[in-house]
Amino acid sequence: MEYKNIEFKIDGTTAQITMNRPEALNALNSQVFVELNSALDEIEKNNNLRALIITGSGKAFVAGADIAEMSEMNEEQAFEFAKTGHNTFNRVANLKIPVIAAINGFALGGGCEFAMACDIRIANTFAKFGQPEVNLGLIPGYCGTQRLSRIVGLSNALNLLLTADMIDANEAFRLGLVQKITEPEELLNEANKLASKIASKGKLAVEKAKEVTVKGINMSFDAASELEIKEFAKLFGKPESKEGMTAFLEKRKPNW
Active site residue 42: no
What is the residue type of 26?
A: N
Angle at 160 between CA 155 and CA 102, to 5 degrees: 115
**Residue 132 CA to its chain's centroid (Å):** 20
Burial of 67 (0-12, 13-18, 19+ CB in 10 A): middle
How many other CB atoms are found less than 10 A from the CB of residue 230?
10
State the maximum Cα–Cα separation within the chain, in Å, rounded to a whole number: 65
Sheet holding 128-130, edge to edge: 60-62, 106-108, 128-130, 167-168
CB of 177 closer than 8 Å to CB of 152:
yes
Active site residue 23: no
d(CA 250, CA 227): 31
The C-alpha torsion from 189 through 195 and 197 to 199, rounded to 10°, is: -140
Which one from 7, 35, 113, 207 is the annotated catalytic residue? Answer: 113
Angle at 246 between CA 241 and CA 13, to 5 degrees: 50
Which one from 23, 42, 76, 133 is the annotated catalytic residue? Answer: 133
Residues in a beta bridge with 56: 19
> To which H or E segment does residue 210 belong?
helix 203-216
3-class state of residue 46 by DSSP: coil
> To which H or E segment does residue 53 belong?
strand 51-56
Residues that are catalytic: 113, 133
